[in-house]
Amino acid sequence: MSSSLTGYNRKLGILALALAWNLGSVAAHSHADMLDEENAAKPVDSILWIHIFLQALIWGILFPAGMVFGITRSRWHVPLQSTGIALTLGGYILGHSHKGRAFLASAHGPMANFLLIPIITQLIIGVYLKLHIHEQTFRPWAVRLHGAVGKTYPVLGWTQMLFGAITFRGYCRGGHLGQCLAHYIMGSGFIAYGTIIAILLLVGEAWIRRSGRSPEWWDSWVIMLWGIVNTFTEHRGSNWSVKDMQHTILGVLWWAGGALGIFLARNNQRTVLPAIIIILTGWAMSEHAQALMISTRVHALFGYTLGLAGVTRIIEICFFVPTFANPDVGGSVVVSDDSNSDHTLADVPSSPRDLYAPTADGAIRQAKEEKIIAGRVFRHLPPFLLVAAGILFMSATDEELEFVHENEMDHVTYILIMFSISFVLYLLIVSLINLFATSGRNASSSPSSRTSTSGYDDTTSGGIELRTPLSGAANKWYARVPSRPRDSAREQHHILGDDDDGED
């Protein structure tokens, strides 16, 4: 056994050294620092296009999916991550082998060198974990480190793809750097915010309850800390421009409103303060004066979209109150526990019958089911609008809009392109969330003798059919619209008091 492990360790060392040498030699190759007009005007060749689309596929889809498989302990985690690492190596080689257009030195190259660290770290730890040694000493720490490094991949990939797009267009040089940082960092922040809200609303119920804090408590802390940073970084020099004053006071608004939100959200309470701050920020951004008309209109729609995200968040908090009764197919009611509900911070009824008090009338029950369904549909709006606002803000830099203006594209076409990108990005986000809810240890178990085909235990309590999820049932973050009973119209008339059955 010891000789076998020695052989494994020797192979591991050789593999790691070989990968490090290959990636290092590829990354060491750099484009010429002096870029003449002839090289800059060359067309983009097919090798570079393959590099771009291959790396976007790896860092935008494969690695995030592999990260989700790792979280759920799916057997597909190792094959997918191994494929991603191998394709990444090929992408590095292609990125330095093209013969077309050359580019000035940028952050894209150093970031590629930095990415070698998590890639090699993941490879070494992954192979080590496959050896199943040091079970009681080093292995538990290696598992934690492996998970922590893997969870950085979406952020690292997003950053590197941004650097690649900036390098491709030659943006963010000279006096444009500050504006680029403001737009890309803030826009990425809105996208991250929308992603986190989507996770919390769709599959984060158990985590929220374990934390003992409402979602708005966490929101308020992030807003307050970000506001403190913005208060002292948005103004440079001795003269105050209009934009300097607007951005600085927005920082003050954020830390002041964030502090109030933290106080109001104490003791696990809900508050609309973060949404109000988002609305005010959107209104302020929509009023920004710009040099070009197209820039003014793009900034205005960004502000409206951000404000609408705040409005929908308020509606979601105030009017779609969770009841922990999740409708399922056929009008039956699913009484869920904490791990299966898809919202937060509602008191669980003391008994299933209390859920339908004061009456078990079919029409009232149907209305409650439909409201729950509407809540599940509606709560996609705030995260999607935040993602769309982030994309619009990232696309509103002076250099980008000058390029669009010079090519005679109107603001309508440009904005529709950005919303199309937002749809694709949100599709990726909810697909990964769904993958988490349906893969690995979260996948449905084989039906037992007492489990229905939908994975629920059918019982009856007080004349009301209850469908309680069994322990092996998959967490559901959506539900179909329930079918209305045949006599629902008569029941609704009865509720309204105008049911005439011919008797006095």
Measured between its terminal Cα atoms, the distance across the chain in Å is 91
Is 231 inside any structural domain? no
Q: What is the pLDDT of residue 322?
A: 52
Which range, of 2-6, 352-356, 402-406, averages the lowest pLDDT? 2-6
Query: What's the number of domains the chain is made of?
Result: 2
Q: What is the pLDDT of residue 37?
A: 52
Of the residues 123, 150, 170, which one is the last residue of a structural domain? 170
Burial label for 6, CB within 10 Å (0-12, 13-18, 19+), is exposed
Is 227 inside any structural domain? no
Is 16 inside any structural domain? yes
Of the residues 148, 170, 192, which one is the last residue of a structural domain? 170
State the amino acid at position 219 in one-letter form. D
How confident is the model over 69-122, as pLDDT tens digits?
A: 999 999 999 999 999 999 988 887 887 777 767 777 788 888 988 998 999 999
Q: What is the pLDDT of residue 488?
A: 45
Is 196 inside any structural domain? no
Q: Enumerate residues 6+ apart whose C-beta is below 8 A from 400.
A: 169, 171
**In degrees rounded to 5, what are phi and psi of residue 341?**
-75, 165
Which range, of 139-153, 328-342, 355-369, 481-495, averages the lowest pLDDT? 328-342
Is 125 inside any structural domain? yes
Give yes or no for residue 365 having a pLDDT over 80: no
Q: What is the pLDDT of residue 433?
A: 94
Q: What is the pLDDT of residue 56?
A: 92
Higher-scoring residue by pLDDT: 482, 66: 66
Q: What is the pLDDT of residue 92?
A: 79
Parent domain of 474: 325-376+454-496
Higher-scoring residue by pLDDT: 346, 159: 159
Among 99, 122, 107, 9, which Cα is nearest to 50's? Answer: 99
The SS3 call for residue 262 is: helix
- Extract long-range pairs of 182-187: CB within 8 Å, 24+ residues apart: 182/247, 183/393, 183/394, 183/396, 183/397, 184/394, 184/397, 186/390, 186/393, 187/389, 187/390, 187/391, 187/392, 187/393, 187/394, 187/395
Higher-scoring residue by pLDDT: 468, 55: 55
Helix, strand, coil percentages (3-state) for the chain, rounded to 5, are 65, 5, 30
Domain harbouring 31, CATH code: 1.20.120
Give yes or no for residue 492 having a pLDDT over 60: no
Which range, of 46-55, 429-438, 457-466, averages the lowest pLDDT? 457-466
Among 317, 145, 124, which Cα is nearest to 217's? Answer: 317
Among 114, 100, 14, 85, which Cα is nearest to 49's? Answer: 100
Cβ atoms 479, 376 nearer than 8 A = yes
Which range, of 41-45, 298-302, 444-448, averages the lowest pLDDT? 444-448
Higher-scoring residue by pLDDT: 150, 361: 150
The SS3 call for residue 360 is: coil
Q: What is the pLDDT of residue 203?
A: 85
Of the residues 137, 170, 203, which one is the last residue of a structural domain? 170
Give yes or no for residue 472 having a pLDDT over 70: no
pTM of whole model > 0.95?
A: no
Is 124 inside any structural domain? yes
Q: Which of 247-251, 291-295, 424-428 has the highest mean pLDDT?
A: 424-428
Q: What is the pLDDT of residue 188?
A: 92
State the amino acid at position 65 in one-letter form. A
Q: What is the pLDDT of residue 30?
A: 43
Q: What is the pLDDT of residue 35?
A: 52
Determine if the peptide bond prior to 358 is cis (ω within 30°): yes
Is 470 inside any structural domain? yes
Is 295 inside any structural domain? no
Q: Enumerate residues 6+ apart whose C-beta is below 8 A from 194.
A: 309, 382, 383, 384, 385, 386, 387, 390, 426, 429
Q: Enumerate residues 6+ apart whose C-beta is below 8 A from 255.
A: 223, 224, 225, 227, 228, 231
Q: Which parts of 320-406 fold into alpha helices (H)?
A: 362-378, 381-394, 398-406
Q: What is the pLDDT of residue 25?
A: 36
Question: How high is the mean pLDDT of the chain?
Answer: 75
Among 303, 306, 308, which Cα is nearest to 286's? Answer: 303
Among 370, 380, 397, 358, which Cα is nearest to 177's? Answer: 397
Q: What is the pLDDT of residue 29?
A: 42
Q: Enumerate residues 6+ apart whose C-beta is below 8 A from 388.
A: 305, 418, 419, 422, 426
Q: What is the pLDDT of residue 499?
A: 46
DSSP 443: S
Mean pLDDT computed over 37-48 = 69
Maximum distance among all Cα pairs of the chain, rounded to whole angstroms: 97
Per-residue b or e along 453-483, where b marks 16 or more CB atoms closer than 10 Å to that residue's CB: ebbbeeeeeeebebbbbbeebebbbebeebe
Q: What is the pLDDT of residue 321?
A: 58
Among 464, 469, 440, which Cα is nearest to 454's? Answer: 469
pLDDT band at residue 467, thresholds of 50, 70 and 90? very low
Give yes or no for residue 386 having a pLDDT over 90: yes
Which range, of 178-182, 251-255, 312-316, 431-435, averages the lowest pLDDT? 178-182
Give yes or no for residue 452 having a pLDDT over 80: no
